[in-house]
Structure 1
């Protein structure tokens, strides 16, 4: 009788799948929130939950075991310094997968995966401000600088 295997293959070879999950996990630990396909998000959730649970030990051995898969010093440092401190009292469920509208190009199911305790921090992150369109002048950069100077001297 055929038994169903729980892991998704994601249309990749074993080594490519391992690299993809390691990369998604690294980015999730660094940015606290990433947007990806629904299947990748659900597989990344399994991967990251195990990593965070292992990191809660706080031992050097745990750091070395995690560094085998993450391979990014900044992400491992962020995990042990900030993330474990925030989720120390939590017994599991460190991530959340929120489904989004399908992707425009190929209608793939999309989702956002985020660390639960950092959800409000990711939303409140300041957006990069765009230059004021009223001050810009069409043409070369030289003309734009002259337009700004004229506007400043006129006030």
Structure 2
């Protein structure tokens, strides 16, 4: 693998189950109410390992500018796969925020110029308001600016691997 372009970093099934809009839509019914806190944590961890064995954040350190570039695009205010893991992944991989900056991210430096090969890109959700905003933030890859960023990355990685 020469590099990676992630359009939705993901967060692991346990975090999605408990921290997304889907919790109230039925995931909360998967947790046995009679369980203690420890038993509930075990149940959630078991689901995580069975359904989602590899969390993307665990692989972040194998990517860097000199060997394997990583570009991470995310939608602002995603309520399907919340962005906490996106920010952690960006910090672990040493990514910088590409302009335009739509929201300040504490602890993540901002690039002076757009880097098509490596970095973090913020994308506005398709819907601007209400619960649709959080849902469409998960599908920002359909936006023209996201599509353009992806194709710029493909061109940049092709140039890098041709050397």
Q: TM-score, normalised by structure 1?
A: 0.28
Q: TM-score, normalised by structure 2?
A: 0.27
Rg larger in structure: 1
